[in-house]
Amino acid sequence: MELPEAHRTGPGAGRREDSCVEAEALAGVKKNAKNEGRTIVFIDESGLSQRPHRCRTWAPGTIRSPQVIEFLTHLLRHLPGKLLIVWDGLRSHRSRMVWDFVRQQRGRLWLEFLPAYAPELNPVEYLWAHWKHHELPNFCPDSYGELSYHARQALRRMRRRPMLVCAFWQQAELFPL
């Protein structure tokens, strides 16, 4: 399995702490979530193209705040109880509009942010890497509808492989299995 690459935005950008320290900080978040009875949800965006996947791409700013709120609304509708959302520091995740939406949920949503340039701490990064490199490599659909259909089928196949999903969690080294 290939590890996702961290992307640098410019000179001097980079991680400020050791990955072990970052993982320990997230362990405290996990403990608080357990004490509060929250379901932990890791979130990460990914994109697909009609062209075959040949290399990693990074498209910052493609997800806007209204889309984030729409997704969170959908999540709240389908997952009962309190939720802890763990995601990266994408600008739209930190927007005033998203924070206002979270406040309106009266404690049902709690947000935590992964450290900058630490995709290896997010198990969803491993899922996307596997999806693109093993489930859909060299796939060149004729339409976006065909792309959507095959992408969803690939995710369904992956869901039926619990050992694969467990491997993503083990790679992130956040939760003992």
Residues 102 and 28 grouped into a single domain: yes
Please state the separation of Cα 78 from the chain's center in Å: 18
The one-letter amino acid code at 143 reads S
Residues 114 and 140 grouped into a single domain: no
pLDDT of 142 > 70? The answer is: yes
What is the average pLDDT score of the chain? Answer: 76
Sequence-separated (6 or more) residues with CB below 8 Å from residue 5: 56, 119
Q: Measure the CA–CA gap between 90 and 87, rounded to whole angstroms.
A: 8
pLDDT of 3 > 50? The answer is: no
Domain-located, residue 79: yes
Residues 78 and 142 grouped into a single domain: no
Model confidence band, residue 136 (pLDDT cutoffs 50, 70, 90): confident
Residues 66 and 98 grouped into a single domain: yes
Model confidence band, residue 79 (pLDDT cutoffs 50, 70, 90): very high
Residues 133 and 96 grouped into a single domain: no
**Looking at 49-53, 128-132, 151-155, which range is the least confident one?**
49-53
Residues 69 and 112 grouped into a single domain: yes
Q: Measure the CA–CA gap between 86 and 161, rounded to whole angstroms.
A: 23
Q: Measure the CA–CA gap between 76 and 43, rounded to whole angstroms.
A: 14
The per-residue pLDDT for range 24-38, each reduced to its tens digit, is 666 677 788 888 888
DSSP state, 20?
H
Instruction: Determine the structural domain holding residue 64 and report its residue range.
Output: 18-42+60-118
Residues 112 and 34 grouped into a single domain: yes
Domain-located, residue 54: no
Q: What percent of the chain has pLDDT over 70?
A: 72
Which domain-ending residue is among 118, 145, 162? 118
Quick one: CA dihedral 168, 57, 153, 65, positive or negative? positive
Which domain-ending residue is among 118, 139, 160? 118
Residues 109 and 144 grouped into a single domain: no
Residues 97 and 176 grouped into a single domain: no
Which domain-ending residue is among 93, 118, 143? 118
Tokens of 91: 């600008």
Domain-located, residue 55: no
* Domain count within the chain: 2
Tokens of 123: 């198990």
